[in-house]
Amino acid sequence: MTVTPLGVAVAQFAPTADESANLDTIADLVERARRRGADVVLFPEYSSYFVDPFDASLAEHAQGLDGPFVRALTALAAAHDVHIVAGLVERAASPGRVRNTVVAVDAGGIVARYRKLHLYDAFGQRESDWVEPGDIDVAETFDTGGIRFALMTCYDLRFPEVARVLADTGAHVVLVAAEWVRGPLKEDHWRTLLQARAIENTLYVAGADHPPPLGVGHSVVIDPQGVPVVHIGTATDVAVAFVDVRAVERVRRVNPALALRRYTVAPRV
């Protein structure tokens, strides 16, 4: 089977409390990404709705996975013949709380979803006051063009076992939707952790963030050797990298770290 490189875009923008404006920006960036050759477009965490600091409006604007945000993404995916991956505020069972969810959609609807496992109770923040953690379950992936994609959210990047579990699904690319909050050395943490997850798992890692003043920006695609392929900076924009299964295979022949390991990952109960 002939395998051709696939265009993966990181789309960087600052979601707000205006859900309609968020979708307008997403539509513009999908069109821009498609013109530049993207087949998969990754958006940040909380793309459907975002306020800082969090308040009760978060739950008021939460949606189901069959709600208007997912329907709009599906329509965009159909119109542009792409897969779209984006974070949304999903309704939760507990009153006043939500789930921090990432969905991947194509023209037919959701093909994979991921609910954030590790909540951002760090650096003076308390995401768990407003958000329910996702359940530890079998990781969902989606395939397109002979390439397998897995999903992750923001703070989960600091836990290497999450990416290792995703690597065990056979993923060639891990897509990280983030709102990586600014602070001392946070840009360095963001880039270092994305590169580490790529190097130790010998796969591509793409990260899409909010730009300043709240996020660090610097959305990027990292190759299986830890080398940044494309990078945005702090603008609202898209950047497209072309990922290749053969690159993953070449790196794993030279550095068979996954095959040589002596530990597996087990959930903490």
Is 127 one of the catalytic residues? no
The single residue of 45, 90, 127, 187 carrying the catalytic annotation is 45
For residue 19, indicate whether it is catalytic: no
Based on the residue annotation, tell me whether 186 is a catalytic residue of this protein: no
Active-site hit among 19, 90, 116, 179? 116
Q: How would DSSP label each residue in 108-148? A: TEEEEEEE-SS----TT--GGGTEEPPPP-PPPEEEETTEE
**Active-site annotation holder among 19, 127, 154, 179:** 154
Question: Hey, which residues are catalytic here?
Answer: 45, 116, 154
